[in-house]
Structure 1
């Protein structure tokens, strides 16, 4: 078996490998790394020679990693993240910083927090790169472990001692219906609320199972007749008699500029808690601490 001569190994090749692993495209990886396509292809050929593996195979859907590449991906991503932290200056100066932050957001955070957070980040640090990633399809804990994610924003339970959390938002539920709804927006009894035509917003990030449990204790229930994504909820609710139950901040964003109104529930609403999640090894890291503090500050103004 031929061993790699690590003393002669160009560490820039690991950056190329990581870029290809994340982008699955020579063109996109080159754009991300500031390399021409021929230069990146040359670097990939050097990697293939040194590691004695094809690493990435061209397919109709992009560059597919080989099993060897999959095996290397997480350890190398973690090693690169550790090197980046080790080489970064002790002090973090937002106005001069040019690093990239990767944040996983659940649907609630994407709707409520993303816009003000993006504005605040680039107002303070115009040279940063910010990658907001939907957390629904991610293994958030694994990506935080590997260093591929800096922070996650969402609802978390039993994450383990190696992670830290901090509450940033708390919310409650309200109903949303059109302004000309037949109820006339009178205070509703529990039975009357249960009898309404209910819609469930599938991508709002809200769990409204508490409604069914509460209605059951009052001897009634609701029938969800419609399920639809958040993007189409405003127009559908404005032109129908459906009512949807959403967290207050999500509902407020939905009714803005639409012929919709918020209505208080006749049921006791549980609290909706949104938190930051990060790996404890970043606790004292200046850049990371700055980002966490900024998110907490932005959230406090909502």
Structure 2
């Protein structure tokens, strides 16, 4: 990811969410769950009785793919739909008894992992981090549906708060990007190249933790739109390096300004000292998650005990 992640809380939050899902997912492989599946089970475990529309909004997953996920989890006996007593047209979701041992294991490992990524933060810093995340969440949520789905954020862990804030941040920014003719995925590709131009497609895929095939589609789209170009690597004629076009740089500047405006709004009513502590705490968490992703067994082999 771009080096600006080291300084910008909004981008740090996004990258921490990405790193956590990847790293924590490796700890659940023995349960036979994909990332979307364990996220669904974990959310329904916390908020039993929600409907699919609410769950889709909380997870940032489209209704159609979420419906397939729920179908599969229901067919495996882990999730159950039941009629809303106040509206028979609506189905609500709850775990089955068969799912409870799985979510108990997920929760235990989550708590263990939390001790790892927060290990270098003292109690006062953790309190500032949690208080700031709650304020940012309140600033971004306003009166929208998240406030109705999550009336209380007091029981959420640090990483769950970070994920909730990231989702709201992305939703606001997606609206601005759409008006400019971009998707968030396209913006992430261009931002990564803006910070580290000349990358190969393989190197860019690794930075963004993205598959080569879907990244190739994005690059084709951006090249067709005259946002980036492929150039032959002078050291290896078989390789192609990626560069931004001059026209793209002006649009990236506009997008950066939009992101900064949103960022400043999200930090309303938070003093400069708290903002600095908040940023340092996020940098620390990101560094811990990065280290874990590089060598999970050596750094934290006891996580499955």
TM range (shorter): under 0.3
Q: Greater relative contact order (Cα 8 A, min sep 6): structure 1 or 2?
A: 2
Return the TM-score normalized by structure 1: 0.27
Larger Rg belongs to: 1
Return the TM-score normalized by structure 2: 0.27
The structure with more strand, counted as a fraction of residues: 1
